[in-house]
Chains A and B, each alone.
Chain A
């Protein structure tokens, strides 16, 4: 009961954004127009000044509300390769294996998930052949099998989280 009570406030905390921050977060997830003075163009759409837009954007990055603002690359189209891989790691080894896996530069994202397969990461390499090599290295460095789940068909990719 006390544990629940302690967790409640955290769970009910919804981030508060100003209307201007909300507008910037929503608009800039959709992409910057590739034109001269692109921030001025977006500021015009949002009815704010270019400087106000840049300030809000910088502040959202400083507060880590946004993790990045920049080009979103498509590894496959860059001639590189991308895959999703999963591992089943016993709890007692989870931290050690996390460090080992994260040390690989090719690991772009790594999430812990609630499932028997409890570690899920994205591998990005410059050539398709590197995927198998990196997987083999991860298997030998950790002693656990890696389940490779490359995309076979892409139906949709566009993360948009309106606030």
Chain B
């Protein structure tokens, strides 16, 4: 437990080094677009008109926020079920602590892994410290992908399981609250 606490403190310190401080205009842009970008030929101009900013400034603020990592990208977010990816498997692995960073990077590089993180164990209920999300059109596809991860982890891994999602209970995405 103490390891995980100091690790996450380290992590947030690490983040703050790179933190881009959101300006008032950035916050307005985030609030104006968190449910979606205007679907018009000139979305930056449309946002600028709404917020009283020149289109060039809207665009350059988006560029800066993306460069700083505040915005990962401006993109389409699919509903996996409606794309035919009905099976979303959170594969979780109990990987030796001395191997986790190296193995996590290798698992994260597999093309079919969409998200890959190290997370804390909660013994005795939960002894898995590596999470890798994979998607498939059926369970077999998810299992095949999990087998490839298992082969890669080899004897650094003491056990694993796959948690399939059976319902989306809520999906609103990350939102900045109006304050």
Q: CB within 8 Å of B: which residues of A?
A: 11, 14-15, 24-25, 28-32, 34-40, 50, 54, 57-58, 60-61, 63-82, 84, 86, 88, 98, 101-102, 105, 107-117, 119-121, 124, 126, 128, 147-161, 163
Contact = CB atoms under 8 A, between A and B. Distances in A.
B101 interface: yes
A161 B169 contact: no
A57 B8 contact: no
Given A36-B44, A152-B118, 5 more contacts: A58-B39, A64-B79, A81-B12, A105-B177, A114-B164
A71 B62 contact: yes
Interface string B30-49: 10011111011111100000
Contacts of B117: 151-155
Given A32-B73, A69-B37, A151-B118, A14 B79 contact: no
B70 A29 contact: no
A112 B40 CA distance: 36
A151 B130 CA distance: 10
Contact of A126 (B63, B163, B176): B176
B169 A111 contact: yes
A65 B79 contact: yes
B158 interface: no
A111 B15 CA distance: 27
A113 B171 contact: no
**Closest 4 pairs (CB-CB, A-B):** A156-B108, A155-B108, A31-B73, A28-B76
18 contacts: A67-B78, A67-B79, A69-B37, A72-B71, A72-B73, A72-B77, A73-B34, A73-B71, A76-B15, A77-B69, A107-B170, A110-B169, A114-B164, A119-B169, A126-B179, A155-B118, A161-B85, A161-B135
A160 to B, nearest CB: 7
A161 B83 contact: yes
Interface of B: 4, 7-8, 11-12, 15-16, 18-22, 30, 33-37, 39-44, 55, 59, 62-63, 65-66, 68-80, 82-86, 88, 90, 100-101, 104-105, 107-109, 113-120, 122, 125-126, 131, 133, 135, 137-138, 161, 163-177, 179
Contacts of A60: 76
Which DSSP category, helix, strand, loop or mixed, fits chain A's interface?
mixed
A110 to B, nearest CB: 4
Contact of B76 (A29, A39, A157): A29
Given A25-B76, A69-B37, A113 B71 contact: no
A64 B90 CA distance: 23
A57 B76 contact: yes
A66 B108 contact: no
